[in-house]
Amino acid sequence: MIKPKRLQKGDKIAIVSLSWGGLGDKDLIHKYYIAKERLENDFGLEVTVMPNALKGSKFIYEHPEARAKDLMDAFKDETIKGIFCAIGGDDTVRLLPYINYEVIKNNPKIFMGYSDTTVNHFMMNKAGLVSFYGASVMCEFGEYVKMFDYTRQAVKDILFNDCENYEIRSSAVWSNDYVPWKEENISVAKKLLPEEHGYETLQGEGFITGHLLGGCIDVFPMIVGTDIWPTKDEWKGKILLIETSEDQIKPDFLTWYLRSLGAQGIFDVIKGIVVGKPQNEKYYEEYKEVYKKVLQEFNRQDLPVLYNVNIGHAYPNGVLPLGTDVSVDFTDKKLYLTESPTV
């Protein structure tokens, strides 16, 4: 896998809308201005917006080819050092016919997002590029009042620094607060709660090292069978990353999605599973039972599972690199970046 160059102050990053186009809608564009100011002032980055990214949700929905062109052009532009996704959605899969994997491979750079951006991460994997499952423009960089400290530090540590042997610790706080995206709420901050669980080992023990691969499991059914979905051999030796979306899927749906992975033989070849905290801790205990039940159905009671990691749709979220070695200590419940994902 190709590692991109780490970011430096003064670097130009591009914002792309690859799924939902709400960043450009009249009632939401204030989120863009919050994020732009924060990226410039807190991170020292130069922000550029790709030509179609702010054209609004109607245009973005109607023109997947324009979304894809923005992504390809951002990779081709040598002045751009990183690509940050506006937000997820449910429509990235329609970009597939327009993606040139050689362009991605030959122009490696930081790429970050989560949720439906899972589709793009599997594109990056197919192209052989390390990518970053983490903060989006609207949600994290555009957070009202301030970014969560945990998220801001993760972005700085992992995208801007050599982070070999970096420990990804559990956040000391979390939030289940909901603040509607309206301009009158700009001064309303989410309330924080103390973290009561930390990382949990659902089953297994010991220490494993491997490349993380995965993302939002709600998205997996859309890409199974496409040319970006890895073969069983390509899953061999990986650590499967799974988190669930704001839809807060019922445990039955999680059961079915996991059974699909088992039926493909993926559980037979991976080294372990890392699971994100469910948003608002909805189905927190129920999901744990689903993982143990389904893995028992496929005779993988030995497959280690680390649960309640701060990634994806539960807040605050961190950043995890996909495509470079991470290590998981299931006995001591610790997660490390074994090697730096950037150069």
Report field, pTM of the whole predicted structure over 0.85? yes
Place of tokens 């309206």: 182
Token pair for residue 68? 């894809």
What single letter denotes the amino acid at residue 6? R
- Backbone φ and ψ of 259, nearest 5°: -60, -35
Whole-angstrom distance, CA of residue 82 vs CA of residue 217: 25
Q: Are the CB atoms for 261 and 267 separated by under 8 Å?
A: yes
> CA-based angle 289:290:293, to the nearest 5?
85
CA distance 303 to 305: 7
Inter-residue contact 322 to 241 (CB < 8 Å): yes
The answer for residues whose C-beta is within 8 angstroms of residue 233's C-beta and 6 or more apart is 269
Domains of the chain: 12-163 (3.40.50.10740), 167-337 (3.50.30.60)
Question: Distance of CA 172 to CAs 56, 149, 179, 196, 334, Å?
Answer: 37, 10, 21, 8, 14
Pairing of strands 325-329, 166-167: unpaired
HEC letters along 228-293: CCCCHHHHCCCEEEEECCCCCCCHHHHHHHHHHHHHCCHHHHCCEEEEECCHHHCCHHHHHHHHHH
DSSP conformation class of 2: B
Per-residue pLDDT of the chain (343 residues; tens, 9 = 90+): 999 999 999 999 999 999 999 999 999 999 999 999 999 999 999 999 999 999 999 999 999 999 999 999 999 999 999 999 999 999 999 999 999 999 999 999 999 999 999 999 999 999 999 999 999 999 999 999 999 999 999 999 999 999 999 999 999 999 999 999 999 999 999 999 999 999 999 999 999 999 999 999 999 999 999 999 999 999 999 999 999 999 999 999 999 999 999 999 999 999 999 999 999 999 999 999 999 999 999 999 999 999 999 999 999 999 999 999 999 999 999 999 999 999 9
**CA 299 to CA 258: how far, in whole Å?**
13
